[in-house]
Structure 1
């Protein structure tokens, strides 16, 4: 029994209860060389029980390098899953973004083959079937809050590429997370058709809803349902320092100037902010700033977004993931559930990072690069042109299509070797 309900209460399509099993019972489905898709976007909403059970199996049976997979996820996942897989030599190919010292080391030494791509484009091209020989994938592992009577999946803290996963994978394993409240109702799932049948995305405000709260799933594809009580291990970011506070101050001053010149409305335009300590600090600056009735249209919501809501400056936010820190972010969110839940909409990556709504809404894009050259070109993926850090991520989706594009960074590196 969980504090947040039982597995039986979360799985409302009762015929699926016959497929409930332990994570260890799923190992038989996995073979060397398989193409896998996971839910998740940044360390949010990713599967935990089955990937951890697979890692335990490989480690216990000395199968390092003998059970390797091609891993496709909307963005990064928790270190206890993919970074551990990297230490056990379980990853052959990885698309399109990752976080972790061990997986980065594997990529930079040539042991892991990584495809680096703008996240919004990756989601679309995955749906087109571009990344595997036959356009299909072997197994999808998806974390959900609940399954309704029609086999619609209510996701957890992110949407990522779940819609594509359920359509393209031959087998589906579902982890039902009963270790936290159900996020049912927070998501707006819209599945695009392929050209030439694609329709406009009629998102006219950050809180517009154009879909349903559930991702449809073929019940015949589901081979296993595993209960999970593990929560996301989101990263905590450093507190604002003098440098990040100065950067935030410059941006606030710039916004005030643009309002005076008539190029921005009093409540600005929908804000997009990337991942990292500086981005977190800039949002913290907005939370304390003179602007009100603001909205956010972004791909990641971090801890300072809660400050933004609490200060009364932010009305609502749209994102692909709720990427809060393990502590204090998620405990704070859960303790104030009623305050935050109705103000947040989570969307699939193919929608959150799609150029069409970003341009229509006139998003103000703010992101942190690795470095600039003297001509103003920004590098967001490779140090020195060769050493992979994480990947391009989604910043380019917003920077290429936003109304205003801001890249914020300290003017110099802390040391010559950092």
Structure 2
């Protein structure tokens, strides 16, 4: 049926589980039709909002369209849409940010409440009624299992060669019946290539032909190249010291321009026969696969620029044996991450001198995005690395501060910090040793004297000396930015 008829199955106040992960594999037609219906209801003076669950971020036809219609009451677990962000930060929308590995288990345990409708994009429906996933898996298995009714979008834009890349694991169970996940290497396949779906739950099938929408990655600037260089030097040193094998350990990379630049630098590095166990396959990882430097990449979805997505669709068959797409509760599962010994490389908004990392909030209270999978990987990685340029907003913000205005990752989960200024290996250091190293290696020269002065005065006058802090000054840099537009004194 058409998208408008399918959207009519979604009732006001209901909870809808949508497919999608970082702008790939999300439904396009039904959410837009639902947004149009919501706008018409609002124009008639009737309230209409829904609760939206996804895998992670989606695209403008989903989050953007529903936000423009003021149709989202509640959103989880991750967002990057600017209009949704605005409505969250102005209190118009409730938002629950949680680790991506925890979403499916919490839904299955009933902690999130009932799921009324699943709207899932697939690339095909098999003759036995099973569903061939599209360019992301995300939480789709759980949405299909838990929802009272299912709406399927079959997107002909997605490559037919995707079939066979997916590994849908049906071995999860709730406590006390859980058993180990039998993944010993990133390339292990332990599940099925398609989603199981009870045909009686399917109330609509909508055919579409619409591309995934991800923004193009910027060409690496000087800061990104410097960060990549510092990290490459560090990895080479770890291999030399015998702490990493010559092929490294499985790579995990967050999404964004800096992580993508770091992946690009591995093309010129000395490492061969690498593997990846990560959330998303972005342009830099696709380049490593094409060059043969990366043997296999396991993820839950793609995050490809338009050009890279076009290339992948044209050549998808060559990747079928080297790309595995899994449910995000498996791609991000702490048990598997710890077993494989992943190298976690993620971006951040800011860090403080003791190694607390803020990944989500600007000036303490404005959400920028969710925590995503960075917590899943950072706490369980073999080495946990966070990266950012040392300044933002044309130098008016220092990303290294006396105290983080919001903490997503505690110092025990942060082992390495990298900016274009340098790299600080924090493993085995006390808080004061960490502070001196971060100030010396990572802070921009414009802010280094002020941060050194703060730390020395804190050591002299703080209430205690384990992690010295001047409580009346610790967040003064953020307050100064809010009042004047600059952290500079």
Tell me what 1:24 maps to: 4
CA drift of 1:60 comes to: 4.7
Tell me what 2:53 maps to: 72
CA drift of 1:64 comes to: 8.4
Tell me what 1:140 maps to: 118
Tell me what 1:174 maps to: 152
Residues 66-120 of structure 1: CA distance to partner in whole angstroms, max 9, x if unpaired?
Answer: 2100001110110221122112110000011111111001000111000011111
Closer, same or farther: CA 128–77 of 1 in aligned 2, 3 Å: same
Q: Is 1:398 the counterpart of 2:377 in the alignment? A: yes
Whether the 8 Å CA contact 1:297–1:318 is kept in 2: the answer is yes
Residues 3-39 of structure 1: CA distance to partner in whole angstroms, max 9, x if unpaired?
Answer: xxxxxxxxxxxxxxxxxx1111123212211011011
Distance 2:169 2:373 in 1: 19
CA drift of 1:150 comes to: 2.9
CA RMSD of aligned residues (A): 1.4
**Correspondence list, 1:18-167, <5 A:** 21-60=1-40, 62=43, 66-132=47-113, 136-167=114-145
Whether the 8 Å CA contact 2:148–2:201 is kept in 1: the answer is yes
Tell me what 1:365 maps to: 344
Tell me what 1:284 maps to: 264
Q: Is 1:223 the counterpart of 2:203 in the alignment? A: yes
Closer, same or farther: CA 222–259 of 1 in aligned 2, 3 Å: same
| Other structure's SS at 1:281 match | helix
Distance 1:346 1:364 in 2: 19
Distance 1:401 1:266 in 2: 21
**Correspondence list, 1:312-327, <5 A:** 312-325=292-305, 327=306
Q: Is 1:245 the counterpart of 2:225 in the alignment? A: yes
Distance 2:229 2:64 in 1: 36
Query: What is the aligned residue count?
Result: 394
Which 4+ runs in 1 deviate beyond 4 A?
none
Whether the 8 Å CA contact 1:58–1:64 is kept in 2: the answer is no
Whether the 8 Å CA contact 1:303–1:324 is kept in 2: the answer is yes
Whether the 8 Å CA contact 2:124–2:154 is kept in 1: the answer is yes
Q: Which is further off, 262-271 or 46-55?
A: 46-55
Closer, same or farther: CA 149–64 of 1 in aligned 2, 3 Å: farther
CA drift of 1:149 comes to: 2.9
Closer, same or farther: CA 200–63 of 1 in aligned 2, 3 Å: farther
CA drift of 1:391 comes to: 0.9
Tell me what 1:350 maps to: 329
Whether the 8 Å CA contact 1:79–1:99 is kept in 2: the answer is no
Closer, same or farther: CA 246–204 of 1 in aligned 2, 3 Å: same
Distance 2:46 2:391 in 1: 40
Residues 258-316 of structure 1: CA distance to partner in whole angstroms, max 9, x if unpaired?
Answer: 11111000000000000110011000011221110000000011111121122221111
Q: Which is further off, 357-366 or 147-156?
A: 147-156
Whether the 8 Å CA contact 1:166–1:172 is kept in 2: the answer is yes
Whether the 8 Å CA contact 2:152–2:202 is kept in 1: the answer is yes
Q: Which runs of 5+ in 1 are unaligned?
A: 1-20
Whether the 8 Å CA contact 2:136–2:300 is kept in 1: the answer is yes
CA drift of 1:408 comes to: 0.9
Distance 2:44 2:369 in 1: 27
Whether the 8 Å CA contact 2:217–2:257 is kept in 1: the answer is yes
Distance 2:301 2:232 in 1: 25
CA drift of 1:151 comes to: 2.1
Distance 2:315 2:126 in 1: 26
Distance 1:64 1:203 in 2: 53
Distance 2:244 2:64 in 1: 43
CA drift of 1:341 comes to: 2.9
Whether the 8 Å CA contact 2:228–2:261 is kept in 1: the answer is yes
Whether the 8 Å CA contact 2:24–2:302 is kept in 1: the answer is yes
CA drift of 1:65 comes to: 7.8
Closer, same or farther: CA 27–403 of 1 in aligned 2, 3 Å: same
CA drift of 1:335 comes to: 2.4
Tell me what 1:207 maps to: 187
TM-score of the pair, normalised by structure 1:
0.91
Q: Is 1:297 the counterpart of 2:277 in the alignment? A: yes
